A and B are shown apart, each in its own frame.
Chain A
Amino acid sequence: MINVKIRNFELGLFLSLVSLGVMGGSRDGDASEKTEATRRSSTTTSGLVSAYEMGMGTVGEVSPDAIGIDPMTYLTTWNFNNLPPEEREKFYQESKLPDGRTLREYWFYTVDKEIEIAPGVFFPAWTYNGQVPGPTIRATEGDRIRIHFLNQGTKPHTMHFHGFHPAEMDGSMPHQFVAPGDTFLYEFDAEPFGLHLYHCHSTPLSQHIHKGLYGVYIVDPETPREEARELVMMMNGFDPNFDEENEIYAVNTITFYYVNHPIPVKLGELVRIYLVNILEFDQINSFHTHANFFNEFRTGTSLTPNSFTDTIILGQAERSILELRFRFPGKFMFHAHKTEFAERGWMGLFEVMEDVVEAKE
Chain B
Amino acid sequence: MKRWFFAFLPLILLGVLIALFLAKGPLGLFKAILPPIQELSVERIVLKPDEILLHVVNDGPDPITIAQVMVNGAFWNFEMEPNSTLSRLGRGRIRIPYPWVEGDMEHITLVTRDGVTFEAVVEVATVTPTPDRRYLSTFALLGVYVGVIPVFLGLLWLPFLKTLRSGWYGFFLALTVGLLVFLGVDSLVEAIETTEKAPETFQGMGVLTFGLSLSFLSLSAISRRSQMRAKEKGEGYQRLVLAFLIAFGIGIHNLGEGLAIGGAYAVGEVALGALLVLGFMIHNVTEGVAIIAPIARIKPSLKHLVLMGLLAGIPTILGTWIGGFSYSAIWAVLFLAIGAGAIFQVVFEIVKQMGKSTSGGLVTFGNVAGFLTGLVIMYVTGLFVAA
**Interface residue ranges, A against B (CB under 8 Å):** 1-4, 6-7, 9-10, 12-14, 17-18, 22-23, 25-26, 29, 32, 36, 39-41, 43-46, 48-52, 54-60, 117-123, 238, 240-241, 243, 247, 255-256, 340, 343-345
Q: What is the size, in residues, of chain B's interface with A at 8 Å between Cβ atoms?
A: 47
Q: Do B141 and A10 have beta carbons less than 8 Å apart?
A: no
Q: Do B102 and A121 have beta carbons less than 8 Å apart?
A: no
CB distance from B115 to the nearest CB of A (A): 2
Q: How many A-B residue pairs have CB under 8 A?
A: 145
B98 within 8 A of A: yes
Q: Do B51 and A3 have beta carbons less than 8 Å apart?
A: no
B113 within 8 A of A: yes
Q: Do B103 and A118 have beta carbons less than 8 Å apart?
A: no
Q: Do B113 and A344 have beta carbons less than 8 Å apart?
A: no
Q: What residues of chain B lie closer than 8 Å to A18, measured between beta carbons?
A: 141
**Within the complex, which residue of A3, A48, A119, A241 is in contact with B95, where a contact is CB–CB below 8 Å?**
A48
Smallest CB gap from A22: residue in B: B149
A43 vs B141: C-alpha distance in the bound complex, in angstroms?
Answer: 29
Q: What residues of chain B lie closer than 8 Å to A1, measured between beta carbons?
A: 103
A240 vs B137: C-alpha distance in the bound complex, in angstroms?
Answer: 47
Using known A-B contacts A55-B98, A121-B67, A240-B114, determine if residue A345 contacts B75 with beta carbons closer than 8 Å: yes
B111 within 8 A of A: yes
B325 within 8 A of A: no
Q: Do B271 and A23 have beta carbons less than 8 Å apart?
A: no
A256 vs B37: C-alpha distance in the bound complex, in angstroms?
Answer: 29
Q: What residues of chain A lie closer than 8 Å to B141, measured between beta carbons?
A: 14, 17-18, 23, 25
Q: Do A52 and B77 have beta carbons less than 8 Å apart?
A: no
Contact with A along B337-355 (1 / 0, CB 8 A): 0000000000000000000
Q: List 21 A-B contacts (CB under 8 A).
A: A2-B103, A4-B102, A10-B273, A17-B145, A18-B141, A22-B144, A29-B134, A29-B138, A32-B134, A48-B77, A48-B79, A48-B95, A50-B97, A51-B50, A56-B74, A60-B67, A120-B68, A122-B115, A238-B115, A240-B116, A344-B75
A255 vs B76: C-alpha distance in the bound complex, in angstroms?
Answer: 12
CB distance from A296 to the nearest CB of B (A): 28
Smallest CB gap from A241: residue in B: B117
Using known A-B contacts A40-B127, A46-B95, A344-B74, determine if residue A241 contacts B115 with beta carbons closer than 8 Å: yes
**Interface residue ranges, B against A (CB under 8 Å):** 48-51, 65, 67-70, 73-79, 84, 95, 97-99, 102-103, 109, 111-117, 124, 126-127, 134, 137-138, 141, 144-145, 149, 271-274, 277-278
Q: Do B114 and A3 have beta carbons less than 8 Å apart?
A: no
Smallest CB gap from A31: residue in B: B134
**Within the complex, which residue of B48, B49, B76 is in contact with A56, where a contact is CB–CB below 8 Å?**
B76
Q: What residues of chain B lie closer than 8 Å to A58, measured between beta carbons?
A: 68, 75
Q: What residues of chain B lie closer than 8 Å to A26, measured between beta carbons?
A: 137
A54 vs B109: C-alpha distance in the bound complex, in angstroms?
Answer: 19
**Within the complex, which residue of B65, B77, B117 is in contact with A49, where a contact is CB–CB below 8 Å?**
B77
A55 vs B144: C-alpha distance in the bound complex, in angstroms?
Answer: 43
Q: Do B115 and A343 have beta carbons less than 8 Å apart?
A: no
A211 vs B355: C-alpha distance in the bound complex, in angstroms?
Answer: 73
A278 vs B219: C-alpha distance in the bound complex, in angstroms?
Answer: 68
Q: Do A7 and B75 have beta carbons less than 8 Å apart?
A: no
Q: Do A256 and B97 have beta carbons less than 8 Å apart?
A: no
Q: Do A247 and B70 have beta carbons less than 8 Å apart?
A: yes
Q: Do A10 and B73 have beta carbons less than 8 Å apart?
A: no
Q: What residues of chain B lie closer than 8 Å to A3, measured between beta carbons?
A: 102-103, 124, 126, 271
Smallest CB gap from A118: residue in B: B68
Using known A-B contacts A14-B141, A58-B68, determine if residue A44 contacts B49 with beta carbons closer than 8 Å: yes
Q: Do B77 and A45 have beta carbons less than 8 Å apart?
A: no
CB distance from B37 to the nearest CB of A (A): 14
Using known A-B contacts A14-B141, A39-B49, determine if residue A51 contacts B98 with beta carbons closer than 8 Å: yes
Q: Do A51 and B97 have beta carbons less than 8 Å apart?
A: yes
A39 vs B134: C-alpha distance in the bound complex, in angstroms?
Answer: 15
